[in-house]
Amino acid sequence: MRAVAVLPVVALVVLAGCSVPFLGSGPNASAPTSGSSGMTEGDGTTGGAAEGNTGGPNGNTGAASAGTIPPDPANDALGWEGGYWYNESIAVTTDDGYNASERAALVNVTMARVERIRGLEFTQSVPVEVISRADYSRSTGDGGGRSAAFRTFDNAKFEGLFLVGEDRNSLAVQQSNRGQNVLGYYSPANDSIVVVSPTATPDIDPSTLAHELTHALQDQQFNLSSSNPATRDAYNARNGLIEGDANYIEDQYDAACEAEWQCTQAAAGSAGTATSGGGDSTSSLDLGVYILSYFPYADGPAFVSYLRSHGGWERVNAAYDDLPASAEQVIHPAKYGTDPPTNLTVTNSTSNGWERVRPPGRPDYAVLGQSALAATFGATLYDDYNDSSVVAPGTFLNLEAGSVNTSDPFNYGFNYTNGWDGDRMAVYRKGNETGYVWTLAWDSPAEAREFVDGYHDLLSHWGGEPESGSGDVWVVRDDSPYSDAFRVTRDGDTVTIVNAPETGDLNDVHAAG
For 146-186, write each residue's pLDDT tens digit: 899 999 999 999 999 999 999 999 999 999 988 888 889 99
Q: Which of 339, 315, 317, 319 has the alpha carbon at shortest distance from 328? A: 339
Q: Distance between CA atoms of 414 and 399, rounded to whole angstroms?
A: 14
Q: Distance between CA atoms of 455 and 420, rounded to whole angstroms?
A: 14
For the chain, the first-to-last Cα distance in angstroms comes to: 46
Q: Residue 349: helix, strand or coil by DSSP?
A: coil
Q: Assess if residue 132 is contained within a domain.
A: yes
Task: State the burial class of residue 234 (Cβ atoms within 10 Å of its Cβ: 0-12, 13-18, 19+).
Answer: buried
Q: Is the pLDDT of residue 9 over 60?
A: no
Q: Distance between CA atoms of 230 and 362, rounded to whole angstroms?
A: 6
Q: Is the pLDDT of residue 270 over 50?
A: no
What pLDDT does 179 receive?
85
Q: Assess if residue 106 is contained within a domain.
A: yes
Q: Assess if residue 73 is contained within a domain.
A: no
20, 160: one domain = yes
101, 221: one domain = yes
For 100-216, strand residue ranges (E) read 128-132, 182-187, 192-197
296, 374: one domain = no
What range does the domain containing 254 cover? 2-34+81-269+278-335
User: Range with the lowest mean pLDDT among 105-119, 194-208, 466-480, 496-510?
Assistant: 194-208
Q: Is the pLDDT of residue 58 over 60?
A: no
Confidence category of residue 143, pLDDT binned at 50, 70, 90: low
Q: Assess if residue 51 is contained within a domain.
A: no
- Quick: pLDDT tens for 288-311: 999 999 999 999 999 999 999 999
What pLDDT does 297 receive?
95
8, 89: one domain = yes
- Quick: pLDDT tens for 20-50: 222 232 322 222 222 222 222 222 222 223 3
Q: Is the pLDDT of residue 369 over 60?
A: yes
Q: Distance between CA atoms of 400 and 199, rounded to whole angstroms?
A: 31
Number of domains in the chain: 2
169, 308: one domain = yes
Percent of the chain scoring above 90 in pLDDT: 67
What pLDDT does 40 receive?
21
Confidence category of residue 2, pLDDT binned at 50, 70, 90: low
Q: Distance between CA atoms of 414 and 376, rounded to whole angstroms?
A: 12
104, 209: one domain = yes
- Quick: pLDDT tens for 373-406: 999 999 999 998 988 899 999 999 999 888 898 8
310, 258: one domain = yes
Q: Assess if residue 61 is contained within a domain.
A: no
Q: Distance between CA atoms of 157 and 151, rounded to whole angstroms?
A: 10
- Quick: pLDDT tens for 327-359: 999 999 999 999 999 999 999 999 999 999 999
Q: Assess if residue 423 is contained within a domain.
A: yes
Residue 6's region, left for phi above 0, alpha for psi from -120 to 50, else beta, is beta
Task: State the burial class of residue 35 (Cβ atoms within 10 Å of its Cβ: 0-12, 13-18, 19+).
Answer: exposed
Query: Which helix H or strand E contains 440, and what residues bound it?
Result: strand 433-442
Q: Is the pLDDT of residue 312 over 50?
A: yes
Q: Assess if residue 40 is contained within a domain.
A: no
Name the pTM for this structure: 0.85
Where residue 502 sits, what CATH number does that domain have? 3.40.1000
Average pLDDT over every residue of 448-467: 97
Q: Is the pLDDT of residue 475 over 60?
A: yes
Q: Distance between CA atoms of 46 and 37, rounded to whole angstroms?
A: 12
Check: CB of residue 322 under 8 Å from CB of residue 295: no
Q: Is the pLDDT of residue 510 over 70?
A: yes
Cα distances (Å, whole numbers) of residue 331 to 244, 254, 324, 328: 12, 24, 10, 5
Summary mean pLDDT of the chain: 84
